[in-house]
Amino acid sequence: MNLTLKIWRQKNAKAPGKFVTYKVENISPDTSFLEMLDILNNDLIHKGEDPVVFDHDCREGICGMCSLHINGFAHGPDTEITTCQLHMRKFKDGDTITIEPWRSRAFPVIKDLAVDRSAFDKILQAGGFISVNTGGVPDANTIPIPKKDADESMDAAACIGCGACVATCKNGSAMLFVAARVSSLAKLPQGRIEGARRAKAMVAKMDELGFGACTNTGACEAQCPKGISIAHIARLNREFLSAKLKD
Amino acid sequence: MGNLFSSSIGRKLIMSISGLFLILFLLFHMSMNLVAVFSTEAYNMICEFLGAHWYALVGTLILAAGFLFHIVYAFILTIKNRQARGTQRYAVSKKEEGVSWASKNMFVLGVIVILGLLLHFYNFWYNMQFAELVGEQVGPFGPADGAAYITSLFSNPVFVILYLVWFAALWFHLTHGFWSAFQTLGWDNQIWIKRWKCIANVFATVVMLCFALVVIVFFLRSLCGGAC
Amino acid sequence: MAKLDSKIPAGPLAEKWSKHKADIRVVSPANKRKLDIIVVGTGLGGASAAATLGELGYNVKIFCISDSPRRAHSIAAQGGINAAKNYQNDNDSVFRLFYDTIKGGDYRAREANVYRLAEVSNNIIDQCVAQGVPFARDYGGLLDNRSFGGAQVSRTFYARGQTGQQLLLGAYAALNRQIAKGSVKSYPRHEMLDLVLIDGKARGIITRNLITGEIERFGAHAVVIATGGYGNVFFLSTNAMNSNGSAAWQCYKKGAFFANPCFTQIHPTCIPVHGTQQSKLTLMSESLRNDGRIWVPKKKEDVELLRAKKKKASDIPEEDRDYYLERRYPAFGNLVPRDVASRAAKERCDAGYGVNDTGLAVFLDFKTAIDRLGEDVIRARYGNLFQMYEKITDVNPYHEPMMIYPAVHYTMGGIWVDYNLMTTIPGLYAIGEANFSDHGANRLGASALMQGLADGYFVLPYTIGDYLSHEIQSPKVDTNAPEFVEAEKGVKEKIAKLFSIQGKESVDDIHKKLGHIMWENVGMARTKESLEKAITEIQALRKDFWKNVRIPGTNEEFNQELEKAIRLADFLELGELMARDGLHRQESCGGHFRVEYQTPEGEALRDDEHFAYVAVWEYQGPDQEPKLDKEPLVFEAVHLAQRNYKD
């Protein structure tokens, strides 16, 4: 396959950026999208140009490090995958592919296609945990949990913290990310104990960091590589509102 | 409750509750309109009843507050959400699979609804309740003669079309707003999400068809000169 | 040799750890506040250690190269975590888990460490459940288990195919709680480039801020290395792209001994290589071998038709399939340990039965399981893995069997540590995959997660106190000390030298060459000749690297090529040590298979008389041959025997 790439290049957080057009040739349809970028970068290095910076690590869709807004979609035009799992067979020979960094006020661009998602860490630090120290915990089977609840908790816990929800949301809202964590813990008896405190603290931090509000478009769910349902947002709303009403 | 209403979810809660309240009002208004199709006398009786009496005025004020909250918070949320998106926009952006058009354009739809509302106020409220309040007739007919205003207005095809466009915008607005309100309240889960969406579509369609029916019926009647 | 004191406590195996805990010193809460600890790496080991040390009251600084601690590669572990809970009533016990691990490691691990690992395994499950890790449960609400290779009991706890992710999120949550409290300070996107010793003790590290390029100094009373393994020396591996051996390698060059570097695990079930542009191999969880059956055709003509895509696997009748693992190892069948399964796959492919166009793939078939249990049950168990497979290969594994082939996955070797997990440098600790201690020559599935968390939650926090109890009088480490200045200068010079080369080859070009040398000569089957060849070729390639590499840009920016170059420079030295270690070990054991040493049936042939020891390498200076020390392995509780998975 031969492709034209329109890639956002930006020297650093402060510099203005622009699109630069590149050509890549003889790409196998079995190549992954990031391998295609590796090929481009190798060419650029040999030509003495600066390679394109993009975040990536595990390349199997679980670490959440890769991002990229490809042809108008977070993680590209396929469902329930991350960019690293996107393969070139999803494109046609001769296509022009526009690659942009994720855009949101809370995720400033660091360089080229890499953005700073440390806001997510901060939200989780505000309350995305169960307050137990190491040791002194009961035997694992002393807390029976209905399979349905454990499964639902796991559905939410599948979140990889990639930020596609924020990137794709027209409001730059992190509600799906926050909801996934709150909901996952709220479904477990261990997590219920500080459920109210958690919901309030995490939402407050999310608002403080400049994420937008949820308007229930469901775009996040559609682009979430782990298919996390916005039903979890409903649970977050419930948790948050009932916690606030009790105050 | 602390600072509930300064939180993003709290603001949405206001949108949700005021929205649901306005939906209730729509149901009431729809029922009232339907009466006009069957009996103009009965309709005028209701108009008389809803004149400048204290209970009607209180109701009007509450209703106005509902609108105000819904509109003001819509502006606040939209501005804040646009800021959250950042200064740099995507060069290419496509609609995600399964995402309704209405959900992404609620603000625009809302603005159309407001414009329709202003027209509607000028056409009816000003001539009726307002006229009673100031104590003199401002329109061609008496303030309690709602049927006459309907008959006269919807004999004009321009107004018929304007109203139908208005209803269409409201239909879109409702298809999202109705289920979204329950989602925001937290009365939702994986199973009910589909049910609410379905109920929302049915509800919006029924309500807006009933509104449209009145307009169309009066337009058709004007065509046949009241003979049918 | 005095330095190689393993400090294994005396007494019966089952009582060693309790006795040791009772014997070692502790630090009072008031003194803990005065002590600083640096933890490098945020995987299961690093995150759990930092969180626990923070809870105890130490001042902890934690470093990772990713944008968030949650990205560490522990997250990619799929199948599960072992524990001797015996919840399934299948007669599991701490001893059985210990025994399976020692045997699975082909008797090249330290008994006392492995026993302790088995002992604390149960605490890990309790801890994780308390943290809210959503392990799989049965309808009664209790925890579910599945089986893994090398065990005849079901002791593996799992969270769908994302167990590593869930455990890491648990540890990361505990870490976040401490970060919020201020007891742990997190430094993401910081890479450790050197270790700083003062008076022979580990006292700090030099890091590079990966965004700004700033070289920074950090001091502490102890340094914990939790930076994982070095499988990426092979370029193609299941490790994450940024996983590297550099932190461990800097410790080695500063005097920490390196143990058993040649012990590399080749995982049997990975998606086969598809072309020369590939950057990464993807693992398919070992848990798939619970229900999947591995086979190749019996007939060569079927192989030809498969390769020519004229026949589908599902068209080959049962009687023409060779379920070679079930045939060769009836007792364990498809659940033999990884090294055995990998070698068996290689044997079939070498014999010409490989089923894809490169001839380097075998089938992993779920038809029997789907017929028996239904597609829904299989989907519930492995849905995400099947989806992952389909996204990568465009083949639906519910209808056609998966194609798999072995790939580099884990390194059992690592920094040598004593029973306290301290390296040969006082105050320097190594935990998790970064050390060598628990898996011998082959790691059993679902044991890496166990080790990372055991070290981080339950071992290191105790043992480090013993060392730090002697440091309560030490003031805060002064990062203006000459040793820091010197180390920082060294790092800056190395970076400047790399930029000055401006040659013709990219880092990846050279890394691919290294990977090729390693895979061909230090891979699944090694010979004296291949290992010698590897040493010569790596030395030549290293010279080429320092003459020919091209790094664009500058240090003072987000420069991913520079990051890779610094790591590759270390891999080019590490690879040589791996080959050297493999060359010296004239036996086959676990993942180390020397073609010269095999049984008539082609199984690994150990030489316990001459090689029942840990090979420990001591750095002697640049381009100098390292010195070999030996830590003899004494087996008191288990009887050394040829591993038998047949009956």
pTM of the model: 0.96
Residues in chain C within 8 Å Cβ distance of A57: 66, 71, 73, 240-242
* Rounded-to-integer distance, Cα B110 and Cα B20, Å: 15
> CA–CA separation, C429 vs C252, rounded Å?
12
Which residue in chain B has the smallest CA separation from A218? B99
H/E stretch holding B104: helix B101-104
* Alpha-carbon span C409 to A163, nearest angstrom: 28
- Do residues C157 and C147 touch, judged by C-beta distance below 8 A? no
Segments of chain B with pLDDT less than 70:
1, 226-228
Nearest Cα neighbor of A140 from B135, B199, B116, C123 is C123
Q: Which of the four pLDDT bands, split at 50, 70 and 90, describes residue C285?
A: confident
- List, in order, residues 6 or more apart from C572 with CB less than 8 Å away: C510, C514, C538, C541, C542, C545
Distance (Å, rounded) from C-alpha B128 to C-alpha B145? Answer: 8
DSSP letters, B130-190, are: IHHHHTS--SSS-TT-HHHHHHHHTTSHHHHHHHHHHHHHHHHHHHHHHHHHHHHHT---H
Average pLDDT over every residue of C9-14: 96
Q: C156-157 and C184-187: which strand pairing?
A: unpaired
CB contact under 8 A, C552 and A120: no
CB contact under 8 A, B96 and A223: yes
Gap from B157 CA to chain A (nearest CA, Å): 35
> The tokens of A159 are what?
């979140």
Residue among C386, C409, C390, C387 at smallest CA distance from C73: C409
Report CA torsion sign: A17, A21, A24, A28. Answer: positive
Structure tokens given for B170: 């409201």
β-pair partners for C157: C81
Using a CB-CB cut-off of 8 Å, the residues of chain A touching B19 are none
**CB contact (8 A) between residue C126 and residue A140:** yes
- Of C420, C424, C432, C435, the closest CA to residue C465 belongs to C420
- pLDDT tens sequence across B43-69: 999 988 888 788 989 999 999 999 999
Q: What is the pLDDT of residue B132?
A: 87
Instruction: Calculate mean pLDDT across residues C447-452.
Output: 97
Contact by Cβ (8 Å): C483, C198: yes
Given this model, what pLDDT does residue B41 score? 92
Told to judge if C338 belongs to the known catalytic residues of this protein, a careful annotator would answer yes
pLDDT of residue C79: 84
Chain B residues within an 8 Å CB radius of A234:
182-183, 186-189, 193
pLDDT tops 50 at residue C1: no
Which residue in chain A has the smallest CA separation from B188? A234
At residue B28's C-alpha, the angle toward residues B25 and B29, to 5°, is: 85
Helices (H), C437-551: 448-453, 460-468, 482-501, 507-521, 528-548
pLDDT confidence of residue A111: 98
- Catalytic member of C110, C293, C338, C567: C338
**Residue B228: its pLDDT value, please?**
60
CB B148 within 8 A of CB B41: no
Residue of A58, A67, A110, A208 best to disrupt the C interface, most CBs of C under 10 A = A58
The DSSP secondary-structure symbol of C143 reads B
Which of the 8 DSSP states describes residue C594? B
CB contact under 8 A, B104 and A217: yes
**C-alpha neighbours within 13 Å on the C-beta side of residue A156:** 32
- CA distance linking residue C426 with residue C132, whole number of Å: 36
- Answer yes or no: do B183 and A233 touch at CB < 8 A: yes
C211-258 per-position pLDDT tens digit: 999 999 999 999 999 999 999 999 999 999 999 999 999 999 999 999
Q: Are A43 and A33 in contact (CB under 8 A)?
A: no
CB pairs under 8 A between A and C: 225
Q: Say yes or no for a CB contact (<8 Å) between B190 and A213.
A: no
> Could you read off the pLDDT of C357-370 as tens digits, one per residue?
899 999 999 999 99
What residues of B are in contact with residue A215 (Cβ under 8 Å)?
Answer: 12, 77, 81, 103, 106, 180
Scanning every residue of chain A, which has its alpha carbon at the shortest distance from the alpha carbon of B5? A244
As to burial, measured by CB atoms within 10 angstroms (0-12 exposed, 13-18 middle, 19+ buried), residue C509 is middle
If you average pLDDT over every residue of chain C, what do you get? 95
Beta-carbon separation of C165 and A160 below 8 A = yes
Q: What is the pLDDT of residues B135-148, one digit of tens each?
A: 888 888 888 888 99
pLDDT in tens, chain A (247 residues): 999 999 999 999 999 999 999 999 999 999 999 999 999 999 999 999 999 999 999 999 999 999 999 999 999 999 999 999 999 999 999 999 999 999 999 999 999 999 999 999 999 999 999 999 999 999 999 999 999 999 999 999 999 999 999 999 999 999 999 999 999 999 999 999 999 999 999 999 999 999 999 999 999 999 999 999 999 999 999 999 999 999 8
DSSP letters spanning C602-645:
S-B---HHHH-EEEEEE--STTSPPEEEEEE---SSS-------
d(CA A201, CA A178): 11
Question: A-chain residues within 8 Å CB-CB of B182?
Answer: 234
Provide the pairing of β-strand A18-24 with C362-365: unpaired
Choose among B4, B62, B30: nearest CA to B171. B30
Give the strand pairing for C293-297 and C362-365. Answer: antiparallel
Q: How many CA atoms lie within 13 A of C473 on its CB side?
A: 1
Cβ neighbours around C274 below 10 Å, total: 18
